[in-house]
Structure 1
Amino acid sequence: MPRKCLSSGPDRNLRRMDPTAASASMIARAEAAWQRGNGEAAMAFYGRAADLAETGGDLDTRVAAVLGLARGQQYNLTPGLLPVRLHAAYEMAADPAARVRLAAALARCWSYANEPLRARPFADEALAGAERASDMVLLADALDAALTAHWGPDELARRQDWAFRLGDAAAHLVDPDARLQAHLWGLTVAWEVLDLPRMHRFMRALEVLGEESARARFFAASRRLALEMLRDHVHVGPLLIEQAETAAKAAAIPDSESVLHAMRGYLAWCSDDAEGCALEAPEYEHFALDHGVAVVRAEAAVMWIGAGRPDKVREMIGGFTAETLAELPRDSDWLLTLQCVLEGALAVGDREVTAAAAGLVAPYAGRSVLNAGAVMWHGVTDDTLARAAALLGDHDTAARYRAAALATYERVGATWWRDRLLARGPTEPQTAADEVVVRFHEQPGGLWMVGRVGAEVVLPRVRGLEHLHTLLRHADSDVPVLALAGGGVVVEQGGLDILDEESRRMLRGRLAELDAQLTVHENVDRRQERGAIADYLVGATGLVGRRRTTGSHDERARVAVRKAIVGALARIAEADPWLGRHLHDRVRTGRLCRYQSDPDHPVRWLLQRS
């Protein structure tokens, strides 16, 4: 008796249907398989549905099918025919909503394939279309695509803004996947700037969402591991890996195996488990070689360090010449790749690779380094830059970076990272006993790094920071206000808003906080800060929001510069009260502006990118 094929009945029925009905049936089966967690079957059904819809000329079903196929793409792998199928549907689609969704899918497709330059035009088009449509579902999808496509090291300011907007757009959506993406991006951006309260807030949001979604449970467990390892709580690692494995069986997650390997490997690395690293390192190496993925090759070097195999470390970093490093795409993996290459080069004392990688990382001093999507934290760039400078013989620079890294690790409670750096041996900073070292400079992409070394914060670019930077460069000297405002030769500054809507929202929020604190306990510093912010807000806008003006050119410049500096000081004081108070006390504005240093409490200002 011949064996009966289980699919013969349904397939025979499909052949009797017209192509439109058959493709719709396949879509339904694909969705059912996806919900059951059977991603492989879902992709097969979506592919068949796309073929049937194309044959039958059913564009709507074809769009749904190729968008379903896009859900199954794996990160860092060549996408095959997926971008071709997406683009064919995109070119045919006339419906604005369909074009937004297809453009967003194309942006993610090329981003996952490490092609950010191809991804960005589609992401930008999707976002513009979603904004025109005023549809929160489309906007959430487009913002997720924009964040994915603009994940480079110079675009952090845009990601901060977009992650905030995505949280707003997804907050009231029924779809748990939209809320999941919003929480993941909020967590990722918080990790990038090491904002601990927001990291814990979004971590908790993921765990709450896990009560209604197996996918969210997987992401919550994997991201919780990175947060626990930050604090050296490695004992919870096996439980979290077990939770992630269980959730992965109940949900279709294309990258689940890669994430689980990362969890096991980095748990072994942070546990100083050489045997565990030796088990995972070959997996990283084979994946990197089979698929030509630079970042995984760099991570393989780190795993081989943990396994105690310097020969394999040399083999892994051997592919990263200075030319190769310079040509790496500036995407989500760029900073991670360089950080891991530096770890490998430092482990084996390769000065040539160290110098090449450190030269590229140096403009990003003080930055937090993440495995894409916050699967694992790789410390701060100051850590590897300190060890690189020491290997290359620049001990003063090494001491400065080392002090900065240790201070950051202390601030965020990164005990494993702190102890590891301390064990490398000290290179004492060459500073006066009571000297405070403060970073105050612009970074690539327009962000500003401001604060005492080890306690820096990332601030958006506003004109007041540029004014303060100029005064600090000309410390103890009078600077004409017209020069600050752009009418002289001391500094040239582009046209920036003195008070944008984000600044207004932040300042009003700070006023509310100060009012609440002052009702409980009177404090002179808080009262002065409240008065300065209130004056600034009143002066920045006149009746019905109009900008006030004054008569003479120099008077307008004086008022504009004062407002800009007060606004910048409010931002600084919120992040670092000591620095805000110091600058408030030492900066004078008027027709002549001045920063007056304090000889009794010296400050060494780092005013240029290292």
Structure 2
Amino acid sequence: MSDDVRRFAETTDAALAAGDLPAAVRAVLELARTQRFDAVPGLIPARLHDVFQLATAAGDRAVLAAALARSWAYAGRPGRAAPFAATALELAHGLGDPVLLADCLDATLTAHWGPDDLERRHRWAEELDDVAAHLREPKARRQAYLWGLTVAWELLDLPGIHRNLRALEELGAQDAPARFFAATRRLAVDLLFGRTGTASYLREIAEEAAGRTFVADLDGLRHVMVAYPAMIGGDRATCAAEAAAYEEFALVHGEPAVLAEAGLLWTAAGRADRAAAVAGQFGGDALARRPADADWLLTVQCVLEAAVAGHVTEVVAAAVELLTPYEGRAVINAGAVMFHGVTDDTLSRGNALLGHDAAAARQRAQALATYRRIGAVWWRDRLEGVAARSGHAMRFRPAAGGLWSVGPDAAPVTVPGMRGLEYLHRLLARPGTGIAAVDLVGAQTVHQPGTGPAADARALAAYRRRLATAGPAERAAIEAHLRSVTGLGGRARESGSTAERARVAVRKAIVGALAKLAEVQPELARHLYEHVSTGAVCRYEPDADPAAAVTWLL
């Protein structure tokens, strides 16, 4: 419990004990402001309810009911929030106080933030905008702009997004909370268009504004402003660090939405194993039991991302079933903090994994059309580059520091330099052309005749036993190695000549490189496994179908 929370809780209890209702109202409303979103609320709603039951003035009851509605909504309990929101809004309409009405409309919107309430949110957001239009009070205007922005994001109404964000930025010139909200929400818009260069500047603005106001979710928003620019920018190391932080926080505090985001970030970090581990925690009926709260779409979308990356078929099937009724919906982090793509995108990849090809093709086309319409460059490029066969440009080239940049040009990854990557690079540069293994190895080949069998019987037996339990990537590597070291009848091949040593060296290096690529770019590795042949002469044979050909950026 923070010092602020403790102080306001103690002040509330003391005022209640002394029978000082006005002091109790003031203290408990300050206490309510300290509650983090999607967090266990502790005794905050209980104290609010104690004061609410004692209050008799309609204005006090309205503002306390609004605070109770927000408290239960933040705690992921919309069923408890809705009755208090209805009470607050009814009282506010009867009192005719526009500032109070704006606050109660904000609470009503918060209590009805689930996936099935979008039409009502749109209506209430328009009413809130009308109420706040003639008010000078910054809080009311801030509430109106934030809800206008949120609903515009949900509808993918770009003019509405820009209009409300600009209004929030103008209000921020004299209101620190608005300045903070504007900086954090501007980042989502910049990342939509693939602009990552503003992240550092916007973080500075947000930190400066946060120093002049209280923000309950400040730490969480700090992580958002680091993690998602890293995801869009392809910074896998930062994604991994943020994924670990998200996962630890989620497990300590019991926050499913944050855990689901950790799965997404592990996917962005190229750690399919960690993504699978996160997705597995939503197995059984865990997803189906999630309440339809503000983060429902976000949670299911992120879990599906992680499950697809980790090939957790059971969870993919469950998430696809839950998400299918919401085709065509934009997914945003609560409060328009971040855009998470459209449901058609993840549904298309989930259905493809499940073998539902017709649904996958239709949803993929719908998602791409949406991304092109709104200019979502990274999202479009990622979906187009899901498979190497898509014809999307693929990087395969050296990078700084002895690393290599490989994968879809929109979202490449870096891997350590390996000799096998160099050999593959030369083959990709000359598609359809055979290159002798001795030429790939070059001057490094040393002729040493009479070196004996390439593998002994005991080693061959061990390799063959391992095939029974090996995964797909390891199996392919073992089978390739066995082909290289055995001859007619499966007997160990005699090695020794320059050509033979070069053949073995090249195959071993390429198999090792492909096994590494399979860990971080499985589709790319699969394409190369299928299209690269090794032997005395090696070759990369591109797809015969021009529509499926890959453009290599070498």
Relative to the length of structure 1, the TM-score reads: 0.62
Aligned to 1:88: 50
Determine the structure 2 residue equivalent to 1:172: 134
Q: Which residue of 2 aligns with 1:379?
A: 341
Q: Secondary structure at the match of 1:153?
A: coil
Q: CA deviation at 1:48?
A: 3.8
Structure-1 residue corresponding to 2:203: 241
* Alignment-derived partner of residue 594 in structure 1: none
Q: 2:228 aligns with which of 253, 266, 269?
A: 266
Matched, 1:284 2:239: no
Match of 2:74 among 112, 115, 120: 112
Show the counterpart of 1:353.
315
Q: What is residue 607 of structure 1 aligned with on the other side?
A: none
5 Å-filtered alignment, 1:76-475, equals 76-425=38-387
Q: Equivalent residue for 1:606? A: none
SS of match in other structure, 1:250: coil
Corresponding residue of 2:32: 70
SS at match of 2:197: helix
1:461 counterpart residue number: none
SS in 2 for 1:378: strand
Measure, in 2, the Cα distance between the counterparts of 1:365 and 1:216: 33
What residue identity is the alignment partner of 1:396? A
- Measured against aligned partners, the alpha-carbon deviations of 1:336-369 in whole angstroms (never above 9, x if no partner) come to 0010011001111222111110011001000000
Aligned-partner residue type, residue 207 of structure 1 = E
Q: How far did 1:59 drift? A: 0.9
CA distance in 2, matches of 1:207, 1:329: 33
Shift of 1:58: 1.2
In 2, Cα distance between the equivalents of 1:160 and 1:294? 27
User: Aligned letter for 2:100?
Assistant: L
CA–CA distance in structure 2, aligned partners of residues 154 and 401 of structure 1: 20
TM-fit CA distance, 1:322: 3.9
* Secondary structure in 2 matching 1:84: helix
Q: Which secondary structure does the structure 2 equivalent of 1:324 belong to? A: coil
CA distance in 1, matches of 2:259, 2:12: 35
Contact 1:339 1:384 in 2 (8 A): yes
- Give the drift of 1:44: 4.7
- Alpha-carbon distance, 1:175 to partner: 2.5
Q: Secondary structure at the match of 1:178?
A: helix
TM-aligned CA deviation for residue 42 of structure 1:
4.9
Contact 2:276 2:311 in 1 (8 A): no
Runs of at least 5 residues in structure 1 that lack an aligned partner in the other structure: 1-38, 429-610
Whose Rg is larger? Answer: 2
Contact 2:180 2:205 in 1 (8 A): yes
The CA distance in 2 between the partners of 1:323 and 1:163, in whole Å, is 34
What SS is found at the alignment partner of 2:293?
coil
Q: CA–CA distance in 2 between the matches of 1:358 and 1:42?
A: 42
Contact kept? 1:215, 1:247, Cα under 8 Å:
yes
Q: Which amino acid aligns with 1:96?
A: A
When the two structures are superposed, what TM-score results if normalisation uses the length of structure 2? 0.69
Q: Displacement of 1:56 after TM fit?
A: 2.1
CA gap of 1:123–1:426, structure 2 versus 1, over 3 A, is farther
Aligned runs of 1:461-540 on 2, under 5 Å? none
CA distance, structure 2, for counterparts of residue 203 and residue 322 of structure 1: 40
Query: Do the aligned partners of 1:399 and 1:427 also contact (CA within 8 Å) in 2?
Result: no
Tell me whether 418-427 or 80-89 shows the greater mean CA deviation: 418-427
Q: Call closer, same or farther: CA 1:40–1:216 in 2, change over 3 Å.
A: farther
C-alpha separation between the residues in 1 aligned to 2:5 and 2:344? 44
Counterpart CA distance in 2 for 1:251 and 1:134 is: 29
> Which SS does the other structure have where 2:337 is aligned?
coil
Q: Distance in 1 between matches of 2:37 and 2:30?
A: 16
Q: Over aligned residues, Cα RMSD in angstroms?
A: 1.6
SS at match of 1:374: coil
State the shift of 1:426 in Å.
8.9
Native 8 Å contact 2:352 2:360 kept in 1: yes
Structure-2 separation of matches of 1:388 and 1:303: 17
Q: Which residue is equivalent to 2:11?
A: 49
Q: Which amino acid aligns with 1:401?
A: Q
CA, structure 1 residues 57+285, in 2 after alignment: closer, same or farther (shift >3 Å)?
same
The answer to whether the Cα contact below 8 Å between 2:135 and 2:141 also exists between their aligned partners in 1 is yes
Q: Which residue of 2 aligns with 1:550?
A: none
Question: CA, structure 1 residues 403+205, in 2 after alignment: closer, same or farther (shift >3 Å)?
Answer: same
Query: How many angstroms apart in 2 are the aligned matches of 1:149 and 1:246?
Result: 30
The aligned amino acid for 1:138 is L
Higher mean alpha-carbon deviation, 202-211 vs 303-312, is at 303-312
Q: Quick one: structure 1 residues 427 and 110, their matched pair in 2 at CA, closer, same or farther if it must change by over 3 Å? A: farther
Displacement of 1:180 after TM fit?
A: 0.9
C-alpha distance in structure 1 between counterparts of 2:356 and 2:268, whole Å? 27
Mapped contact 2:276–2:309 kept (Cα < 8 A): no
Corresponding letter in the other structure for 2:175:
S
**1:69 partner letter:** L
Mean alpha-carbon deviation: is it higher for 134-143 or for 361-370? 134-143
Letter in 2 for 1:409: Y
Relative to 1, partners in 2 of residues 1:393 and 1:67: Cα closer, same or farther, differing over 3 Å?
same
Decide whether the 8 Å contact of 1:395 with 1:427 is kept in 2: no
Is the CA contact (8 Å cut-off) linking 1:269 and 1:306 kept in structure 2? yes
The answer for the alignment partner of 2:443 in structure 1 is none
| CA deviation profile, 1:536-595 (whole Å, cap 9, x unmatched) | xxxxxxxxxxxxxxxxxxxxxxxxxxxxxxxxxxxxxxxxxxxxxxxxxxxxxxxxxxxx
Equivalent-residue separation in structure 2 for 1:116 and 1:95 (angstroms): 26
Give, as a single letter, the amino acid of the residue that structure 2 aligns with 1:254.
A
Deviation at residue 174 of structure 1 after TM alignment: 3.0
Displacement, 1:104?
0.4
Corresponding residue for residue 403 of structure 2: none
Deviation (angstroms), 1:377? 0.4
CA deviations on 1:387-418 (whole Å, 9 max, x unpaired) are 11111112121111111000000000001000
Query: Shift in Å at residue 147 of structure 1?
Result: 0.5
Query: How much does 1:172 deviate?
Result: 2.6
CA displacement at 1:275 relative to structure 2: 1.1
The alignment partner of 1:398 has SS state of: helix
- 1:381 deviates by 0.5
Identity %: 53
Secondary structure of residue in 1 paired with 2:287? helix
Length, aligned pairs only: 390
2:529 is aligned to none
Please tell me the residue identity of whatever aligns with 2:350.
A
Give secondary structure in 2 for the equivalent of 1:337: helix
1:259-302: CA deviation from partner (whole Å, max 9, x where unpaired): 11011111111111001112211110111101111111110001
Structure 2 unaligned regions, length at least 5: 391-554
Aligned to 1:31: none
Deviation at 1:40, TM superposition (A): 5.7
Contact 2:194/2:377 (<8 A) preserved: yes
Answer whether contact 1:263 1:375 (CA < 8 A) is retained.
no
Q: Which amino acid is the alignment partner of residue 9 of structure 2?
A: G
Q: CA–CA distance in 2 between the matches of 1:264 and 1:177?
A: 27
